[in-house]
Amino acid sequence: MTTGSTLEAVGRPLDRVDGAAKVTGSGRYAAEFTPPGTAYAALVGARTASGRIIGINTGAAEDADGVLAVLTHRNLPKVAAPPHLLPSLAGHAAPGESFFPMQDEVVHYFGEPVAMVIADSYERAQFAARQVHVDYARDASVTTLDEGRDQAYEPEAIFAGFLPARSVRGDIKAGFAAAAQRLDATYHFAANHHHPIEPSATTAVWDGDRLTLYDATQGIVASQRTVAALLGIPPSKVRVRASFVGGGFGCKAMIWPHVTLAAMAARWVRRPVKLALTREQMATSCGHREEQEQRIELGATDDGRLTALRHHKLSLTSPFDEWAEPSLSIAAQAYACPHYEGVYRLIRGNTMTPTFTRGPGETTGMFALECTMDELAHRIGVDPVQLRLRNHAHADPNTGHPWSSDGAQECYQRGAARFDWQSRNPEPRSERDGNWLIGKGMATAGYPVFFPMQPQRARARLYADGSAVVQAGTQEFGTGAATAMTQVAADGLGVPLHQVRFEYGDTDLPNVAATVGSAGAGMISAAVHTAVTALRDQLIAQAVLDPASPLHGVDPAAVVVSQGRMELRDDSGTGETYRQLMERHFMTDMDALGSWSPPAPDVPYGLATFGAQFAEVAVDQDLGLVRVRRMVGVFAPGRVLNAKTARSQAMGGMLWGIGQALLEGAVTDTRDGRWANAGLGEYLLPVNADAPDVAIEFVEVPDPVVNPLGVKGLGEVGMVGAAAAIANAVFHATGYRARELPIRIEHLL
Amino acid sequence: MADKGASLSVAKPSTMEIRGPDGVRMELVVNGVSRVLHLEPRVSLLDALREHMALTGTKKGCDQGTCGACTVWVDGRRVLACLTLAITCEGRDVTTIEGLTEGDELHPMQRAFLEHDALQCGYCTPGQIMSAVALLNEGHAETDREIAEWMSGNICRCAAYPHIRSAIREVRDRKTGQ
Ligand code: FES
Ligand code: FES
């Protein structure tokens, strides 16, 4: 933190500033804008995973009441340039896949849009969409790992070229040769869907050649740039607004075809168009966590020190992109293991390009590693917490650089104490509660710290009456960013919280990148902090230069601001309020723009957020039912901006771990490559009765490297390790080692 | 349209008036206010509220009865607005989240949700609150377990569940003076 302000608001458990709008239902989400004359678009998805359209009959749909247009590959305008996958943190156009539908007659995946019906009401659009008849020449398809195993290959790089497919350190053979203990386990992960409760939606409104989009997005700038690029119009003509977004979890982090299709539809019918995906379409329109398999080979000494770690992943990607969620990062960094080999292998299948899904990659990678670590602990008779402490990497094992901040050890220790880990009898099947077998498990949590690739900007305005408006082109989808940024702004400017309004959700505001990969809190707070402190310093400088000010001639660095009053740090009697200064100079208000440049990617520090997860389960041995009874999570996310919303975010992540461990698995019907459980009636999500009370603690470690306030983010790390802790607890309860997620009843019978 | 012919070919019972499939006049009482609408009978109560009455506080999460985001009260009972045709609500009292506040005053349950941070993205929240208030009236909030069970029709993907329970608990205990 720079000098000149004190932290009064930051960290406090303030109620959400947008909470009242949410509990009253007055906040408006993307599909809740209905300008006069709004028409409704409905998408028709392909009924095969691979093939060609050989006939498409739109007559009945066109004749249906109220239909304004039916668009197919025959008449939909071509995109200006083919899209190229690029993660939205880059701040550029960020299509979720290098593909745009309805450009020709070829079908690549089930559910790919093949027609779009636009009508004057929602019901009429939906009805007419069902009247579109499409004939396909079907080709063989690959929609599961098993169908494509013989085609697996090792690419050069994954993740839009950002991550090499193979990484090594040390000498893996020597590492295994030195091992007294060897473990080898393969884990299978079903594909997952995000299913935020708000389905993705876009309302598109043209005014001449200018386009406004109300979009359900994790990156308004990404939406703006993607649509502009695909339509071939300048981004200055596209304005994206998102005041409220009903959850993202990664599926709104990249910009998928429906957003541009809504704009095309509105241009075609010359009316505002609302396009909301149906719940089933959410499974085929905005990515998923890919089906994958991970093999862990571990070498260790008899006292559990790791000597070698081989971690291979095989996953299914699309025909267009070499995408795999990065599963091998934290698992390679968490422990001081000298010899390492990580490899991604891919199978090209007939699915859309997979995408970020909460805890992207690390949550599966750490599941595999942490279950294997538990196995090692059990085999050699070392307590699982001790095993982690023994192996914790005190510097980034990839580079030898020190962590920018750590805190892992304290997380293990505080978590163990809070959970009462020491009372656990390590013997499996040793504890019972009636017919329930009780088990306790733990795992390491971790997530990398990512930086955006461009300067992040915000603007601050202070009015002479002491009230302030602070703006950044970000969006709030439940993270608590709007509230936390209000706190950051109040402290940086030195004014009371209630005087600050934070504005966001509009690309007319200064740009920040999409909020993905837990980078949001760090980069937005950095931009906001830079803007408000620039404004503060500007006013202090003016006072210092002003002969009429009590601060005339003082050292600006000796001035602090509190409650809107600039005063000497060591002599609070000497000073004046912003208001006095501004009124004396006939000023109504003052602005400043802040621009924060992220550290270079090669900054000489290891960058990660660590934590520890603990879970207790009860397993009914006759019915195979698993109930998670309690969870404890301790995380070291740098600075916590708002204790209340941070707690909620970590809790959400941990409870997602229940879904990953026990409930969530997308099932493919290989006959037509269809997700067989696309709706919420079939794809099981945790409900209230699945979710135990959760205890959360934060270890606040100062981090002078990552950004001005030392914020490392919490959105992902809360989920990483949670499923592993549950699976390890299931082992402790039953003796069953999960090799497949989700764990199902039949595994336990 | 094929379905037009089908519905017209149904023999007309003498006591029943056939309305639709074209738009028909219907009168709905929502939050105590009577409103006249001209809608096709296939329009759900949810779409009638959201698209035709500008009452967007009731959310659409699935449109097929699986998420609870669209929970409203019809004659005081909680129902899923996506599975209810608007036309079947004629002559009934519909209450939505917008009807819960008295002027600017939040309902105690809304206040408790805010204070307990029983929400994140807020999209499931109106449905959760409509269920939560109904739960207390139904007497289904005696224990945490009961709350969890009877609130399990309202999915929260942000997983605010423990906080939703504590918010309900607080309103319950304040009501019963504990
Ligand atoms: S929208 Fe009605 S239950 Fe989901
Ligand atoms: S608050 Fe986001 S779904 Fe419940």
Atom of ligand 1 nearest to the CA of B59: 1
Domain A19-26+453-596 has CATH 3.30.365.10: yes
User: Residues near ligand 1 with C-beta < 6 Å?
Assistant: B 60-63, 65-70, 80, 82
pLDDT of residue A481: 96
Pocket of ligand 2 (CB under 6 A): A 197, 247, 478; B 119-125, 156-158, 160
Return the SS3 of A335.
strand
Low-confidence ranges of chain B (pLDDT < 70): 1-15, 177-178
A294 closest CA partner among A395, A203, A372, A215: A372
Predicted local confidence at residue A703, as pLDDT: 96
Q: What average pLDDT is seen over chain A?
A: 97
Mean pLDDT for A583-603 is 95
Please indicate whether residue A716 is annotated as part of the active site: yes
**Separation CA A611–CA A633 (nearest Å):** 7
pLDDT at residue B102 in the model = 85
pLDDT in tens, A498-547: 999 999 999 999 999 998 888 889 999 999 999 999 999 999 999 999 99
Nearest to B148 among A23, A196, A689 (CB): A689
Which atom number of ligand 1 is nearest to the Cα of residue B81?
A: 2
Which of A15, A477, A680 lies nearest to residue B115, judging by beta carbons?
A15
Handedness of CA A368, A374, A380, A384 (dihedral sign): positive
Q: What interhelical angle do A220-231 and A257-269 show, nearest 10? A: 60
Q: How far apart are CA B163 and CA A480, in angstroms?
A: 15
- Hey, are the CB atoms on A22 and B62 less than 8 Å from each other? no
The predicted pLDDT at position B4 comes to 39
Q: B162 and A691 in contact by Cβ < 8 A?
A: yes
Give B29's contacts (C-beta < 8 A, 6+ positions apart).
B35, B92, B93, B94
Domain range annotation of chain A: 19-26+453-596, 33-140+197-247+252-285, 157-192+288-450+603-748
Domains, chain B, in order of start with CATH, read: 23-99 (3.10.20.30), 108-175 (1.10.150.120)
The DSSP code for B35 is: E
Name which of A196, A278, A694 is nearest B157 (Cβ-Cβ).
Answer: A196
For A591, the token pair is 């602005």
* Distance (Å) of CA A365 to CA A25, A30, A359, A370: 39, 34, 10, 9
A19-26+453-596 against A157-192+288-450+603-748: fold identical: yes
Q: What are phi and psi of A136, to 5 degrees?
A: -120, 145
Q: Which residue has the least CA distance to atom 3 on ligand 2?
A: B156
Residue among A23, A197, A680 whose CB has most ligand 2 atoms within 8 A, to mutate: A197
**Span A332-350, average pLDDT:** 98
In this prediction, residues A349-375 reach a mean pLDDT of: 97
Query: Which residues lie closer than 8 Å to A681 by C-beta, 6 or more apart?
Result: B64, B65, B66
Residue A21's pLDDT band, with cuts at 50, 70 and 90, is: very high
Any B CB within 8 A of A677 CB: no
Q: What is the DSSP letter of A190?
A: -
According to DSSP, the β-strands at A571-577 and A625-636 are unpaired
What confidence tens digit (pLDDT) does each residue in A720-744 have? Answer: 999 999 999 999 999 999 999 999 9
pLDDT tens digits, residue range A396-450? 999 999 999 999 999 999 999 999 999 999 999 999 999 999 999 999 999 999 9
Kindly state the average pLDDT of the residues A254-267: 98
A33-140+197-247+252-285: CATH topology: Aldehyde Oxidoreductase; domain 4 (3.30.365)
Tokens of A150: 């013989």
* High-pLDDT (> 70) share of chain A, %: 99
Instruction: Give ipTM to 2 decimals.
Output: 0.97
pLDDT for B7 = 44
Which residue's alpha carbon is at the smallest distance from atom 3 of ligand 1?
Answer: B65
Give me the pLDDT at residue A7, please.
79
> Higher confidence at residue A601 or residue A79?
A79
Chain A hits for B155, Cβ within 8 Å: 197, 680, 685, 687
User: Residue B105 CB: number of other CB atoms within 10 A?
Assistant: 9
Pocket test for ligand 1, best of B80, B124, B154, B157 (most atoms within 8 A of CB): B80
Nearest C-alpha in A relative to B164: A688
B103 touches chain A (CB under 8 A): no
Q: Active-site residue among A112, A322, A341, A716?
A: A716
Q: Is the CB of A645 less than 8 angstroms away from the CB of B47? A: no
Task: Convert the pLDDT of each residue in A27-82 to its tens digit.
Answer: 999 999 999 999 999 999 999 999 999 999 999 999 999 999 999 999 999 999 99
Per-residue pLDDT at A628 exceeds 80? yes
Chain A residues within 8 A of B113 when measuring between CB atoms: 19, 23
- Helix/strand/coil percent split, chain A, to 5: 30, 30, 45
CATH of A157-192+288-450+603-748, one of 1.20.1440.230, 2.40.30.10, 3.30.365.10, 3.30.565.10: 3.30.365.10
